Structure 1
Amino acid sequence: MSSKEEVIQQWRRFGWENRFKMAFGKPVKLLEKEVECLKNSRERTSIWKLMITDGTTEIPLVLKIYKKPLKENHVVELNMYQIANTFLQEFMPKVYWIEPNVKSGEIWMFIEYCKPLRGQIKLDPSHYDNIIPTVAKFHAATFEKRISQHSDIFDSWLPDYTSMSMDSERRKHIEKTKEYLDLAMKDSNLRGLVEPCYKNLHRIFRKGPIFFPELMESGQSLIHGDLHIHNISCRNANENEEWDIQLVDWESAKYAPGWFDLVVLVEILIDFRKDWQKNADAIRNHCAQLYSDEMKKYGITFKTDPVQLMKMAYLQRTLEKRLLNHLRRVLRGEKSVLLERYLEKTMVWGKELGLY
């Protein structure tokens, strides 16, 4: 991936200080010693934090570099920032500009640095009261027929959860999951975990790839798709006022049931946080009802109980891909915190919701 020296070299070569002078209305310069790599992702993207100054104030920026050939999720993210940003600017960082051909066709995108929520606070369940209203407002803006008002923005590139291509993908993943369950049954370390669920999982898979029509009937919107706490930024988390939240890392954006975002935001964190698990029902019930109440403010109501919709979205997400990913991981000799939770909750909630 790009090095710190290369970032500085390209900055000088393209004269980007002049571009930022136009953006901020005053001369600025890059503080070269403070160029910092935040993330490298499998040689395809890298994320950098840059600091520029006008001599008085230091202004942080984010630079994201995409290498070609672009993957589909990178195209989605670039379109979110390049095409959808004006419509969704309340929920996203500001885009300064996108440089399309820096080196070997690389795309360099400069956006506003938004302070990550993680690190500002020690997250506890009460903080969902500050986050979920923004998530609901974001979903409501494109809920069902409302997205058709913005077809010029989204139609040509936004992945659709109900499309034939995504349906085909789900079916392939489910068949692959069955294969990995068979492999797990032959593995001495995994057999004890998988065997009690094996027959019921096969009964459940026969009902797929959409396991809950009610989830689809609850309505769809543009969703973030990877709404964990690392992808939430906030300008004022330590202040006693409504949080000003921006969402980052839009590679998984799609048109899908909004409950998938709630699952990642709330339920997956419960799976990781053992200290939350004794109060899991209370946390889940509160968050599902809060989201439902917030959506109602925008004229959106759900016929199915919100907690059931949360559980359905969790199981749908688990069965269509996540269980496969974590079986594969453990069979490779890696650790998985979530595999046991996925199996346990699929059995409990699957029975409760009539999957077997």
Structure 2
Amino acid sequence: MNHLEEIVSHWQQLNWDKKLSKVFGKYVHLIGDQIEVLKNSREKTSIWKLVMTDGSEYFPIVLKIFKVPLKENQMLEINMYARAYSVYHEYMPKLYWLEPNEDTQEIWMVTEYVKPLRGQIKLVPQHLGRIIPTIAKFHAQSFGNRFSQHAHLFDTSLPQFDSPEVRKKGMEYMEKTRQYLDEAMKDPNLKELVEPKYKAIRKILKKGPLFFPELIEAGQCLIHGDLHVHNICCKNASDDGEWDIQLIDWESVKYGSCWYDLVILVEILIDFRSDWQKNEEQIRTRCVRLYAEEMKKHGITFKEDPLNLLKKAYLQRTLEKKLAKHLQRALNGQKSALLKRYLEKVVVWGEELGLI
């Protein structure tokens, strides 16, 4: 469903005011002229911000509409709300309702609207210290053997970092990386950037697809999988007090190394923020230390230097997929804000960590 008029029409036909009145415990109704589209993709999902009222208070909600047949990533998010919400609700917006719409061959999910962190506050490195404790608590809940207590909430569709399927995909992407590196060496716009790193990266790729088994040995857990600032929400973001962090967009959830989430939250953010890069070593060290301290509070320690685990997860993630995607983007004439950083860090950290 892609148009506002359709939303309002089906909302009325399916009596959603009545359904949500049961949830809120009082009569509420939709304010028809306060509907905002947050995302609209005919092939995937559409996301709408709506406002309910009881006449005196206002209750912002999110309506997320999934197209049927569902894609694998859509099934993962629906499962998080339909089955795993009882365990992980602390880290998620409140679920108000979830049901199929048979008339439109869609699934409608209604949740609480929580303000995205982005837009509330200008993010500075110190703010990561407000986010990391929540992420550590989330990871610790299913870390290692603890996941067995929650395994019944997930089916075989939950991606596993060390599964044969993931390794096979990693090998396919690495073959593409080799191909794209060769093409880049023939491209006058890319050769100067790629050539100094070409031989080293080709040598590193021979050691895949699992470059660092110690990432598995260090312990795995349920991870969000796409932990960038757009997917982090907070009711009360300010420079004072603790933040009540909740995460949205659970379509990339998987069972894997906890350090993958830290890579996206910390390291990829550093890669994008040129103004942070002059202090990047200090920022990542402080974040990794805080994360390790928070995990220790939950009974989890790491035998290997946590900073090395972050770097290994960054390299594994980059080499198994991301470098190929950004090389392809550059070869297609599109801008890639990360390609230069990927090339540089793969070689520098690859040598530091024994891949070269």
Counterpart Cα distance in 1 of 2:102 and 2:276: 46
Match status 1:209 vs 2:209? yes
Counterpart Cα distance in 2 of 1:145 and 1:233: 29
Structure 1 unaligned residues grouped into runs of 5+ = none
Identity %: 59
Counterpart Cα distance in 2 of 1:337 and 1:29: 44
Question: What are the residue-to-residue correspondences of 1:152-167 with 2, within 5 Å?
Answer: 152-167=152-167
Counterpart Cα distance in 1 of 2:167 and 2:96: 36
| 2:282 matched residue in structure 1 | 282
1:203 deviates by 0.8
Counterpart Cα distance in 2 of 1:334 and 1:289: 37
Query: Which secondary structure state, in structure 1, belongs to the residue aligned with residue 87 of structure 2?
Result: coil
Query: Which secondary structure state, in structure 2, belongs to the residue aligned with residue 181 of structure 1?
Result: helix
Code of the residue aligned with 2:147 in structure 1: it is I
Code of the residue aligned with 2:198 in structure 1: it is Y
Counterpart Cα distance in 1 of 2:231 and 2:282: 24
Query: Which secondary structure state, in structure 1, belongs to the residue aligned with residue 101 of structure 2?
Result: coil
Tell me if the contact between 2:2 and 2:41 (Cα under 8 Å) persists in the aligned partners: no
The root-mean-square deviation of aligned C-alpha atoms, in Å, is: 1.1
| 1:100 matched residue in structure 2 | 100
Tell me if the contact between 1:23 and 1:96 (Cα under 8 Å) persists in the aligned partners: yes
Superposed CA deviations along residues 109-164 of structure 1, whole A, max 9, x for unmatched, are 11111111111111111111110000000000000100101121124432111111
Code of the residue aligned with 1:342 in structure 2: it is Y
1:104 deviates by 3.6
Superposed CA deviations along residues 215-266 of structure 1, whole A, max 9, x for unmatched, are 2211100000000011001111127322111000001000000100001001
Code of the residue aligned with 1:315 in structure 2: it is L
Superposed CA deviations along residues 244-300 of structure 1, whole A, max 9, x for unmatched, are 110000010000001000010011111111110000000000001110111011111
| 2:243 matched residue in structure 1 | 243
| 2:137 matched residue in structure 1 | 137
Query: Which secondary structure state, in structure 2, belongs to the residue aligned with residue 278 of structure 1?
Result: helix
Tell me if the contact between 1:67 and 1:106 (Cα under 8 Å) persists in the aligned partners: yes
1:199 deviates by 1.1
Question: What are the residue-to-residue correspondences of 1:282-301 with 2, within 5 Å?
Answer: 282-301=282-301
Code of the residue aligned with 1:64 in structure 2: it is K
Tell me if the contact between 1:222 and 1:253 (Cα under 8 Å) persists in the aligned partners: yes
1:108 deviates by 1.1
Code of the residue aligned with 1:163 in structure 2: it is S
| 1:260 matched residue in structure 2 | 260
Counterpart Cα distance in 2 of 1:59 and 1:280: 40
Moved more, 60-69 or 220-229: 60-69
Tell me if the contact between 1:102 and 1:108 (Cα under 8 Å) persists in the aligned partners: no
1:177 deviates by 1.1
Question: What are the residue-to-residue correspondences of 1:175-254 with 2, within 5 Å?
Answer: 175-238=175-238, 240-254=240-254
| 1:79 matched residue in structure 2 | 79
Code of the residue aligned with 1:18 in structure 2: it is K
1:309 deviates by 0.8
Structure 2 unaligned residues grouped into runs of 5+ = none
| 2:112 matched residue in structure 1 | 112
Counterpart Cα distance in 2 of 1:199 and 1:227: 32
Counterpart Cα distance in 2 of 1:70 and 1:198: 40
Counterpart Cα distance in 2 of 1:163 and 1:349: 25
Tell me if the contact between 2:72 and 2:157 (Cα under 8 Å) persists in the aligned partners: no
Match status 1:126 vs 2:126? yes
Counterpart Cα distance in 2 of 1:165 and 1:342: 25
Tell me if the contact between 2:2 and 2:40 (Cα under 8 Å) persists in the aligned partners: no
1:202 deviates by 1.2
TM-score (norm: length of structure 2) = 0.98
Q: 1:262 to 1:42 in 2, by over 3 A?
A: farther
Equivalent residue pairs, number: 356
Moved more, 260-269 or 159-168: 159-168
Code of the residue aligned with 2:135 in structure 1: it is V
Superposed CA deviations along residues 174-221 of structure 1, whole A, max 9, x for unmatched, are 111111111111111011111111111111011111111222211100
Match status 1:44 vs 2:44? yes
Tell me if the contact between 1:50 and 1:61 (Cα under 8 Å) persists in the aligned partners: yes
Superposed CA deviations along residues 300-321 of structure 1, whole A, max 9, x for unmatched, are 1111111111111111110000
What stretches of structure 1 move > 6 A for 4+ residues in a row? none
Query: Which secondary structure state, in structure 2, belongs to the residue aligned with residue 86 of structure 1?
Result: helix
Superposed CA deviations along residues 56-110 of structure 1, whole A, max 9, x for unmatched, are 0110000111112211111101101111111001001111111213444111111
Counterpart Cα distance in 2 of 1:271 and 1:151: 34
| 1:344 matched residue in structure 2 | 344
1:42 deviates by 6.0
Query: Which secondary structure state, in structure 2, belongs to the residue aligned with residue 34 of structure 1?
Result: coil
| 1:10 matched residue in structure 2 | 10
Tell me if the contact between 1:132 and 1:287 (Cα under 8 Å) persists in the aligned partners: yes
Q: 1:224 to 1:112 in 2, by over 3 A?
A: same
Counterpart Cα distance in 1 of 2:154 and 2:295: 22
Code of the residue aligned with 2:255 in structure 1: it is Y
| 1:314 matched residue in structure 2 | 314
Counterpart Cα distance in 2 of 1:355 and 1:324: 18
Tell me if the contact between 1:65 and 1:106 (Cα under 8 Å) persists in the aligned partners: yes
Counterpart Cα distance in 1 of 2:271 and 2:257: 21
